[in-house]
Structure 1
Amino acid sequence: MQSRRTFLTKAGLVTAAGATTLAAPNIVRAQAPIKWRLQTYAGPALGEHVIKPAIDAFNKAANGEMEIELFYADQLVPTGELFRAMQNGTIDAVQSDDDSMAAPVDVRVFGGYFPFATRYSLDVQALFYKHGLAEIWQEAYGEVENVTWLSAGSWDPCHFNTKEPIRSLEDLKGKRVFTFPTAGKFLSRFGVVPVTLPWEDIEVAVQTGELDGIAWSGITEDYTVGWADVTKYFLTNNIAGAWIGSFFANTERWNAVPPHLQELFKLTMDSSHYYRLHWYWAGEADLRVNGGKMELTTIPDAEWATVEAEGEKFWDEISATSERTAKVVKILRDYRTLMQKAGPPYRYG
C-alpha cells in the first residue's frame, strides 16, 4: 500500500481528499505533413473517375503524414507543359500520357494512342509488367533529369464521335478533329485535320463548328464529360484498344517521401488502374446498347483493313527513329503474334 501511495505521489498530485491527478504526459508533436500537388490530364468530370477516388483514398490512408492536392487539366499549367513543370518542381506529380505532356523521351509516341498497339485494356498491363515495357520506360526516364516514371495503366479505346456520320474513309477527309499528337499524325494520312485545344474548350468548339468531331476516347467518356450531348454519331472502329497513361513524379520530391508512403502511393496507383479497368469495360458495352444519345456507325472491315495496313507502315517508321523504339515495336509485334496464336478470347479472327 505504501509503495502504491509513493507511486501515485510521484506520478501526480495527491489532493486533500486522497484523489490523485496524474501528471500530463509529454506530447510528441507530429511532423508537418508532406504536401504534394498532382495535376492530371483529365478535366473535372472525367477526373472524378480516373484519379479522384484514388487520391481521396491515399489522403485518408496516409493519416495526416502526407496530403496530395489534386488539380485537373490546365488548372496550374497547360497539359503540354506538364513535364517541364514537374521537372522544375512547380508541381510534384502528374497523371498523363507521355505524348500529351511532350515528354522529351523517344518512347513518348507510344503513350496515349499508338495506332493498333492494343486491342483490349488488359493488353497494357500485360505489355508493361509481363513483356518488358516497364523496364524500357524506367530506362528512358532514367536518362531525364529529375523526373521519375512510376507506373502505367490502361484507359479506354480510341473512337471517333462526330457531328456527321462516318461510314467510309472518304467521310473522314477534311474533318477537324481533337485528338492526341501521335494519333493525329497517323490520322492525317486519311485526310483528318488534327486540332489541339485546351480540354475544357472541346465541347464549345464542337458547338461553334471549330471542331467536326473528337478522336480522344471511347463512349464512356463521351457520356461522362458531355461530348455525347454535342455529337450525334459514334464510330465503332477504333485505332487503339486502350490508351496508355502513366503516373510520374519529380524525382527529388519522390525520394523525399518515406518508404512506407511510397508503398502506399504505389498501391494507390494500382487501385486507380483497377478502377478504370472495370469502369471503362462496363461503360463501353452498356452505353453502346443503352446510351441513346449517339447513333453507332461502322466502316466496313475490308475498307478498315487499309487503315490497319497503314498502321504497319507507321510502326516501321517509328521503329527506325531509335534503337529503343525499335525494341518497343518488336515487343508489340511479338505480343500481337502471341495473342493471335492463343486465339479466343485473346484475339478473334
Structure 2
Amino acid sequence: MQRRAFLKKAGLGAVAGTAAAAAPAIAQSNPQINWKMTTTYSQATPALFSTAQLFCSMVKDLTDGNFNIRLYPVGELVPGFGVMDAVGNRTVECGQTASYYYYGKDPAFCFDTAVPFGLNVRQMNAWMYEGGGLTLLRELFAPRGIVNFPMGNTGAQMGGWYRKEIKSVADLKGLTMRTAGFAGEVLSRMGVVPQQIPTGDIYPALEKGALDAVEFVGPVDDEKLGFQKVAKYYYYPGWWEGSAQVSLYVNDKAYAELPKSYQAAVDVASRAAGNHLVEYYDNNNPDALRRLIAAGAVLKSFPREVMDASLEASNQVYKEFCDKDPGFKKIFDSYMAFRDNIVPWFRVAEGSYDNYLGAALASRKK
C-alpha cells in the first residue's frame, strides 16, 4: 500500500512538475511587453496622428493585450525631427515619421517618402512590396539601427499656399517657402529659399511674414492648420510629392527581441493602419477643398513653364547625387526604372479613365 501510494504521489508530482515546466514556455511565447512610441505629428493633424493611434491599438488587439505601445505626441519625449535618432539609440522602441525629414543625414532617405516627379500611391506600394524597394531601403536604414515599415501614404499632395500668384519661374525667385527634403534642394535651384519648419511653427511663421509660401500636405491638414487665412493662392500639383509615404521606424534590437508572432503583428498592423491613412485622405480631401474655396482660397495650377523648369531642375539634382554617391544611385536606378516602366501603363488605363470621367463630370455641371 505504501509503495502504491508513493508511486501515485510521485506520478502526480511528475505531472505537476511537467505542467510547471510547461507554464513558463507558454508565458514566454506571449510575454507582456511595453514599448514607447514617438511621432513627428500631433492631434493638429488628425489623419496622421490617428494612424499612429490605430497602429498601437491593433498591435494590442493582435496580441491579446500583451504587447502595449504607448504613443507620445510630438514634443513630449522627442522633437519633431528627432524620431530617427530616438529610435536608433532606443530612447523609444518605435516612431512614426516621414523619412524625407532626414534629408540632411542622407538624401537617399527621401526615397522612403517622396522624391520629385516620383511614384503615386499605388505605384509606390508596388515598388516597395513587389519591386524590391523595401529591401533596398532596409539596407539603407540598417546602419542606423532601424527596421523601417511603410505605414500609409497621403496621396498626391498640393503645391502649397502663396501670398502672390506664380505666373512664371521668375515669380519663384527670392520666395521663402516652408518645404521639406528633396523639394527644397530642387526649388532652391529655381530661386526659392527653402525652410524646414516643424508643423506647429508653420502658421505663426506664415502669419508674421517670415514665410512667403508653405506646402504641407493637402486640403484636410491645410484646412486644420488655417493657411488659407494668410495666403490665399492654393496651387497644384505638388510635383515633389506624387505621393508621400509615412513610415514606422522600429529599433532593430528591440524588434529582434520580439516573438515571431509579435513581429508579425507589427507588420500586419502597420499595413492596416497605413491603409486607413490613404482612405482618410481620399474620403475627406474633396469636401475639405470645397470648404477652402468657399472660404476664399484661389485654386490655381502651376503654369507649364514652372512644371517644365521643375522637372529639369530635378533631373539636374538627381544626376549630381548619383555621380557622387553610389548608394544613392543604387536606389535611384531601381526607383526610376520602376517609374518609367509603370507610368505608361497607368497613362493607358488609370489616366485615360480619370481624365475622361473628370471632363465628363465637369461638362455635366455647366
Common fold, TM-score beyond 0.5?
yes
CA distance in 1, matches of 2:169, 2:103: 29
CA distance in 2, matches of 1:87, 1:60: 26
Who is 1:345 aligned against? 349
- 1:332 is aligned with what amino acid? Y
Who is 1:22 aligned against? none
- 1:69 is aligned with what amino acid? R
1:266-277 maps to which residues of 2 (within 5 A)? Answer: 266-277=267-278
Q: Cα deviations across residues 111-138 of structure 1 (Å, max 9, x unaligned)?
A: 43311112x2212101111211111012
How far 1:268 sits from its partner (Å)? Answer: 1.0
Who is 1:335 aligned against? 338
- 1:196 is aligned with what amino acid? Q
Who is 1:45 aligned against? 44
Q: Which runs of 5+ in 2 are unaligned?
A: 1-19, 356-366
How far 1:229 sits from its partner (Å)? Answer: 4.0
Alpha-carbon RMSD: 2.7
What secondary structure, in the 3-state scheme, does the structure 2 residue paired with 1:79 have?
coil
1:103-142 maps to which residues of 2 (within 5 A)? Answer: 104=105, 107-118=108-119, 120-142=120-142
CA distance in 1, matches of 2:242, 2:66: 39
Who is 1:224 aligned against? 224
Q: Cα deviations across residues 182-227 of structure 1 (Å, max 9, x unaligned)?
A: 2211111122111132321111111111222212222222123433
TM-score, normalised on structure 1? 0.82
Q: Cα deviations across residues 238-264 of structure 1 (Å, max 9, x unaligned)?
A: 222111332111112112222212211
Contact 1:157 1:242 in 2 (8 A): yes
Who is 2:8 aligned against? none
**Pair 95,85 (structure 1): closer, same or farther in 2 beyond 3 Å:** same
Contact 1:105 1:140 in 2 (8 A): no
Q: Which runs of 5+ in 1 are unaligned?
A: 1-25
What secondary structure, in the 3-state scheme, does the structure 1 residue paired with 2:348 have?
coil
What secondary structure, in the 3-state scheme, does the structure 2 residue paired with 1:187 have?
helix
How far 1:97 sits from its partner (Å)? Answer: 2.1
CA distance in 2, matches of 1:101, 1:74: 17
**Pair 145,172 (structure 1): closer, same or farther in 2 beyond 3 Å:** closer
**Pair 233,75 (structure 1): closer, same or farther in 2 beyond 3 Å:** farther
Aligned residues: percent identity?
A: 20
**Pair 126,224 (structure 1): closer, same or farther in 2 beyond 3 Å:** farther
**Pair 145,48 (structure 1): closer, same or farther in 2 beyond 3 Å:** closer
What secondary structure, in the 3-state scheme, does the structure 2 residue paired with 1:344 have?
helix
CA distance in 2, matches of 1:259, 1:272: 20
**Pair 227,64 (structure 1): closer, same or farther in 2 beyond 3 Å:** same
Stretch of structure 1 that moved more, 51-60 or 237-246: 51-60
